[in-house]
Amino acid sequence: SSGINAEYGQYEFEDGPRIEAAFRRFFHRAHFEQTTPSHEVIVCHANVIRYFVCRATQNPPEGWLRMSLANGSITEVVIEPNGQVYVMGVGDKGHLPADMITFN
């Protein structure tokens, strides 16, 4: 399971190496020869999305504990060719009918 193990007062991602490998695969500036924008759609557990947002914004990973994402919500992160990172939205659920919004 993805998440944080705080058993000893430390924050440690149980699936840390796998989640970090995914972050490095998808979150990077474009290759210098790329001339058009690229887009990636990542569908995964909210804990992973929160970790990605923290890493992309250079915040401590335990900061994800301060975020709550609905199931099926949309998060958008933009990485400019120069490496500048913008979080355009986190956990947007406006496309879901109110009776379908869940958090577990």
Confidence tier at 12 by pLDDT (50, 70, 90): low
Q: What is the pLDDT of residue 99?
A: 97
d(CA 104, CA 99): 14
Task: Pick 8 or 58 by higher pLDDT.
Answer: 58
The model's pLDDT over 62-85, given as tens digits with 9 standing for 90+, comes to: 888 899 999 999 999 999 888 899
pLDDT greater than 50 at residue 97: yes
Residues paired with 89 in a beta bridge: 76
Region 58-62: mean pLDDT is 88
Q: What is the pLDDT of residue 13?
A: 55
d(CA 88, CA 26): 17
